[in-house]
Amino acid sequence: MRVVVLTGAGISAESGVPTFRDADGLWEGHHVEDVATPEAYAAQPDVVHRFYDARRAALAAVEPNAAHVALARLEDHLGDDLLVVTQNIDDLHERGGSTRVLHMHGELRSALCAACGARSTWRDDLGHLPPCPACGAAALRPDVVWFGEVPYEMDRISGVIDRADLFVSIGTSGAVYPAAGFVQYAARRGARTLELNLLPSEGTHLFDEARHGPATALVPAWVD
Ligand code: BV8
Ligand code: ZN
């Protein structure tokens, strides 16, 4: 059985990581969509860096929850027949034990060099932006896919969904594309589709089955 699991902010909510749209979607008075853009970074790099520095610092204080750990147990059973495609930029899937994780929107702990494209580990303790370890340019930015930028590894994602028998969406509102369109793509290719979410998402009607409740209850019950 080949399984693709798409996760969003809702799977990390019970770990204490705020979601984007459950509160009022504001951060320091900004709409996330207004901060997570290349235009915002060009205009106010310090505001955008502060946005990600705050979220990176918050990561140190949270732990993976039972939903992350259940997906790692599922990987123990399925091995290469499971891929977790996450929209999240936190590292809770990895800290929960998953190794087959694809961060389609990038990662908080990664830095991207806008000059040479090299990736490196973000160094919070430096307190300032270090030069790129590969080319030395003062051009490091958060390695995060902003609105208007192309998500990572779309070809690989399409390929695994093409071959999937089951597509499961966990903790996402179905508000952001192209991730929100994956369920239709999976269904067209004959996969069964399941939504596990606190509340019906914008795309809940597109799923063969939808179960609603907290991820820490729904995901272990589904996995085990
Ligand atoms: C692209 C990184 C071209 C940054 C993020 C008009 C129409 C359609 C599309 C567009 C449009 N205008 C613009 C677009 C495109 C745009 C888009 O979709 N905009 C939206 C706002 C309409 N998309 C893009 O720009 C993307 N790029 O389109 O490029 C392209 C396309 C295809 C192929 C090639 C090229 C890039 C989008 C990426 C933006 N970056 N994140 C950062 O994190 O700072 S998106 C951001 O939203 C996060 O990644 C987040 O994961 C994502 C989606 O949000 P969710 O994860 O779903 O979180 P949310 O708060 O919304 O929902 C939480 C859910 O959990 C809720 O349903 C809730 O009920 C549930 N929940 C809560 N608690 C629990 C729970 N569930 C279970 N248990 C709980 N305890
Ligand atoms: Zn560089």
Among protein residues, the one with the nearest Cα to ligand 1's atom 36 is 147
Instruction: Give the separation between CA 202 and CA 88, rounded to whole angstroms.
Output: 18
pLDDT in tens, 183-223: 999 999 999 999 999 999 999 999 999 999 999 999 999 99
Is 173 annotated as ligand-binding? yes
34 lines ligand 1 (CB under 6 A): no
Q: From ligand 2's centre to the CA of 120, what distance in Å?
A: 9
Q: Which of 147, 199, 201, 219 to mutate for ligand 1's pocket (most ligand atoms within 8 Å of CB)?
A: 147
Q: Which secondary structure element, helix H or strand E, spans residue 215, and what is its range?
A: helix 215-223
- Report the percentage of the chain scoring pLDDT > 90: 83
Q: What is the predicted pLDDT for the residue at 20?
A: 78
Q: Which ligand is nearest to the CA of 148?
A: 1
Is 145 touching ligand 1 by the criterion CB < 6 Å? yes
Would you say the CB of residue 26 lies under 6 angstroms from ligand 1?
A: no
Q: Is 188 exposed, middle or buried (0-12, 13-18, 19+ CB in 10 A)?
A: exposed
User: What confidence score (pLDDT) does residue 15 get?
Assistant: 97
Which has more confidence, 22 or 69? 69
Q: Ligand 1 center to residue 177 CA distance, Å? A: 6
User: Is 3-22+64-105+150-223 a CATH 3.40.50.720 domain?
Assistant: no
For the segment 170-176, the average pLDDT, to the nearest whole number, is 95
Q: ipTM score here? A: 0.94
- Hey, CA dihedral for 212, 217, 219, 221, is it positive or negative? negative
Ligand 2: centre distance to CA 84 (Å): 29
Q: Is the CB of 70 under 6 A from ligand 1?
A: no
The one-character DSSP state at 68 is H
pLDDT value, residue 156: 98
4-57: pLDDT as tens digits: 999 999 999 999 998 877 666 666 677 888 899 999 999 999 999 998 998 999
Which run of H or of E encompasses 72? Answer: helix 66-78
pLDDT at 123: 78
